[in-house]
Amino acid sequence: MTQNNPVYPVIWHNDSVSLIDQTRLPGEYSFVEISRSADMAQAIKTMIVRGAPAIGVAAAYGMYLGAREIATENRDEFLRCLEQVAEMLRATRPTAVNLFWAISRMMKVAYETIGTVEDIQKVMLQTAQAINSEDIQTCLAIGDHGLKALPQTPEKLTILTHCNAGALATAGYGTALGVVRSAWSEGRLTRVFADETRPRLQGAKLTAWECVQEGIPVTVITDSMAAHCMKQGLIHAVVVGADRIAANGDSANKIGTYHLAIAAQYHNIPFFVAAPLSTVDFNISDGSQIPIEERNPEEIYHVGEATLTPLGAEFYNPAFDVTPAELITAIITEHGAFAPGELKDFQEKQVN
């Protein structure tokens, strides 16, 4: 099966939200229609939609769906009920800061909109749509800045990535895979190496799927092969996404990212994090304050219907790890590529 159209995992269509069901890829390309806020919360929690920016967009629409469900014309009562919708959505995925950023933006516009409940609902839909379109433009800008940050060599590059930070993880185009797409379109890329990304295999299932759709050569490797490939000279740069970045540049991404950064530093390979500025949580000073989601251990011992481990074994299933800032060459945002320590200075200049 080949699907050559641009990939947009979250689409507002016919008064509801269409989500690509990412749990069914790559075998089945299908959509789930969401028209209730509780269903959106479940879709986020069960990873029908995943990737920090895409979760943020989905949550924004979830806030509007919740607003639409509130049966009152009293403004104060409406806002109280809307806070409950926000709490339900916040409880779905604790690590991805874009979720909280989008919900906060939606709540802010609800409180600041003057007029009737219907007026507030209308502005909330417009805001969710704006978050959606802004994210696509953000990813395109990340791709452009990533081109400048990548090693400037006469030979074409091979890039290793982990998990999926492509169009499926955003409103479209992608962050880490957006850099890959830009490098490919400019003739600077020869191949992508995609870690399979245990336990949910987002690299093998999703990143590889996206690359195949666009004709970008992709080689899938197991997570344990990355350092070997670096030693063999097969990797020129590592580009990954992020679900939350602390003010000092410590970056949380899918479990397995941290050891890639260690291996990259040992082999003198640049290690880049690509993420929108909204992924930076300036309220936390370092990565020790980032909450790490733990998921159902069944993800480890089951693949499809097959059980992989003996009865009686115990499991630990953190979904993310934190890469220290000193292992990161640069963080590529829509505003440019920054050394991790430069993020806070840039944010303060923006505020002032």
User: Tens digits of per-residue pLDDT, 67-119?
Assistant: 999 999 999 999 999 999 999 999 999 999 999 999 999 999 999 999 999 99
Query: Can you give the residue range of the structural domain that contains 80?
Result: 10-138
Q: What rounded mean pLDDT belongs to the chain? A: 96
In a domain, 5, yes or no: no
Asked which of 89, 113, 138 is the last residue of a domain, the reply is 138
Residue 2 has pLDDT above 70, yes or no: no
Are residue 240 and residue 98 in the same domain, yes or no? Answer: no
In a domain, 1, yes or no: no
Are residue 238 and residue 193 in the same domain, yes or no? Answer: yes
Looking at residue 347, its pLDDT comes to 86
Asked which of 91, 106, 138 is the last residue of a domain, the reply is 138
Tell me if the pTM is above 0.75: yes
Looking at residue 5, its pLDDT comes to 58
Q: How many domains does the chain have?
A: 2
Tell me the residue type at 29: Y
User: Cβ contacts of residue 319 below 8 Å, gap of 6+?
Assistant: 95, 254, 255, 292, 293, 294, 295
Asked which of 112, 138, 164 is the last residue of a domain, the reply is 138
Are residue 259 and residue 149 in the same domain, yes or no? Answer: yes
Are residue 327 and residue 193 in the same domain, yes or no? Answer: yes
Residue 1 has pLDDT above 50, yes or no: no
User: Among 228, 239, 153, which Cα is nearest to 194's?
Assistant: 239
Q: Which of 39, 135, 195, 243 is catalytic?
A: 243
- 243 catalytic, yes or no? yes
Looking at residue 352, its pLDDT comes to 66
